[in-house]
């Protein structure tokens, strides 16, 4: 696998080595040893999958401490624009984001560390999206930032005003109205 660094330290794009022939393709989607060596040691404990239709936007989500989560995400059917926003107080990249298009054709994966809000917009008719998480989901620890926050300057490739959102996702605060519980100077992996 090739690890592509982004403008925000710790947030990486992963391109697997894909073997194609007349039968189709094969690739190793996850190898703990290689991931730990090339990205960082992570113990993934839960896998999730969602299916969404065109225009759906999910996010920007995170889990509050002590239930923080890193995510390794990929789109196995269709296409999404996937986004990670740095919400760590004191971070030199606080409020900045990385966006990457994940598709069934490019097989890319995106690693979103703890201390980041995460979301995506569905660009295809249908998208099936998979998440590997390094902590179990805790409903009482749900948090979010508005996907429509203009201060984030995210080009979602679809207009958030016409996005299909859950009731929960339509009520998240703007970043300016959010008191982050994440501290850049504290190792969230302890």
Catalytic residues: 61, 131
d(C-alpha 190, C-alpha 188), whole Å: 6
Separation between Cα atoms, residue 146 and residue 5, nearest integer Å = 26
Which tokens go with 82?
A: 């996937």
> How far is residue 86's CA from residue 113's CA, in Å, rounded to a whole number?
9
Half-sphere exposure of 127 (CA within 13 A, CB side): 26
Q: Residue 143's closest CA among 41, 71, 63?
A: 63
């Amino acid at each position: 696998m090739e690890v592509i660094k982004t403008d925000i330290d710790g947030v990486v794009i992963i391109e697997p080595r894909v073997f194609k022939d007349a039968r189709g393709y094969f690739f190793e989607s996850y190898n703990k040893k290689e991931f730990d060596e090339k990205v960082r040691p992570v113990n993934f404990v839960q896998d999730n999958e969602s299916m969404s239709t065109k225009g759906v936007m999910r996010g920007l989500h995170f889990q509050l401490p002590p239930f923080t989560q890193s995510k390794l995400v990929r789109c196995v059917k269709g296409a999404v624009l996937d986004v990670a926003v740095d919400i760590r107080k004191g971070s030199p990249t606080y409020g900045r984001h990385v966006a990457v298009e994940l598709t069934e054709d490019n097989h890319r994966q995106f690693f979103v560390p703890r201390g980041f809000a995460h979301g995506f917009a569905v660009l295809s008719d249908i998208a099936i999206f998979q998440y590997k998480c390094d902590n179990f989901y805790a409903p009482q620890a749900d948090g979010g930032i508005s996907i429509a926050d203009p201060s984030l300057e995210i080009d979602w490739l679809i207009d958030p005003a016409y996005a299909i959102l859950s009731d929960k996702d339509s009520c998240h605060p703007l970043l300016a109205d959010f008191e982050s519980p994440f501290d850049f100077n504290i190792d969230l992996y302890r």
